[in-house]
Amino acid sequence: MVAITGMKIWVLSDGKPGDENQCLSVAERLGGSIELRHVAPSAPWVWLMPHGPIPPSDSPKNPASPIYGPFPDVAIASGRRTVAYLRKLKKVSPQTITVFLKDPRLTSFNADLVWVPFHDKRRDSRTIVSLTGPTRITPSQLTAARTKAPQALLHLPAPRVALILGGDTAKEKFGEQASKRLAHYLSHELPPHVSVMVTPSRRTPDHLKTAVKKALIGHPHWIWDEQGDNPYFSMLALADVIIVTADSHSMLSDVLSCEVPVYIFEPDAYPKKLKRTINQLVQHPFVQLLPAPLETGARPAIDSTELIAEEIRLLLNPTPLEGSQ
């Protein structure tokens, strides 16, 4: 990993946490000065996104515009509403390296680099593809999270399992039958000597939380009560094994950036495109579907953040950077 000294980076975001965090993860990996710039196009311009222009009031000549200069060395964007802004930025500042994360839904796009996950269909000479997405999780961050872990987690006996719960998606519900299947696994098949750390997400339905809580009676465990800070990173840092539900590509990317075995629980319904990615992921060592026997051991992390960052470095400096070999 090589940082380029003095580099100025913009992150263009419409405020969606998932998109914004992915952009920040790549920016942080590059190093340099990072500036977060939010776009909020008004009607009728927002209705035309991603195909239409930016609102006249957001012209880069306007000091109030999110793309008012001085322009950066690199601009990273994600989200439908940011497409037109990145396109305009590249037009007025051709020297800026422009990067878009996920499919911009345009056949013609002037960004220097586009990243898409494996399950998206976009393929062209400026697009790179990976099984997992960029994540802010790094070995140093996990080390820091381990030292700051709540005492309740540190007191759990090893081996520790981190159970990362998703839930409903835009089109699929995490049904009660799936909750019962996961609960049955936890109460009947989870080895009795392991302890469990559980974190739900904002999407986790009550019936899933209730089923998991009942299933873990008799096991040493700790469940985040959704009050205060979520010790998500600490759970990942302390885990000897991770179980994650299959309904979120971001959650899969996070856990696969850790160097421990990962087990994926498939609900009865979840996005079909994620199934295509999971079919590829389980070809990797120590990545399996539940219910498979839990194993501990070291697993090579899948680091898509570095893959994207390295492509940007090559665009900034086509000759190999000293120390990057």
Taking alpha carbons only, the member of 234, 248, 238 closest to residue 203 is 248
Amino acid of residue 298: A
- The pLDDT of residue 14 is above 70: yes
Task: For the beta carbon of residue 95, count every other beta carbon within 10 angstroms.
Answer: 8
Tell me the pTM.
Answer: 0.88
The confidence band for 232, taking pLDDT boundaries of 50, 70 and 90, is: very high
Residue 97 · residue 73 · CB < 8 Å: yes
Which two three-digit tokens encode residue 137? 């999780």
- The pLDDT of residue 218 is above 90: no
pLDDT of residue 318: 74
pLDDT one-digit tens code per residue, 137-190: 999 999 999 999 999 999 999 999 999 999 999 899 999 999 999 999 999 999
The confidence band for 282, taking pLDDT boundaries of 50, 70 and 90, is: very high
Q: H-type helices in 185-318, by residue range?
A: 206-215, 232-238, 249-256, 272-281, 304-316
- The pLDDT of residue 43 is above 80: yes
- The pLDDT of residue 320 is above 60: no
pLDDT of residue 317: 87
pLDDT one-digit tens code per residue, 16-40: 988 999 999 999 999 999 999 999 9
pLDDT of residue 47: 95
Interacting residues of 57 by C-beta distance below 8 A, sequence separation 6+: 42, 64, 65
Average pLDDT over residues 2-8: 71
pLDDT of residue 192: 87
Average pLDDT over residues 200-214: 96
The confidence band for 325, taking pLDDT boundaries of 50, 70 and 90, is: very low
- The pLDDT of residue 2 is above 70: no
Least confident range from 153-162, 180-189, 268-277, 304-313: namely 268-277
Domains with residue ranges and CATH for the chain: 8-131+304-316 (3.40.50), 139-289 (3.40.50.2000)
Average pLDDT over residues 234-250: 96
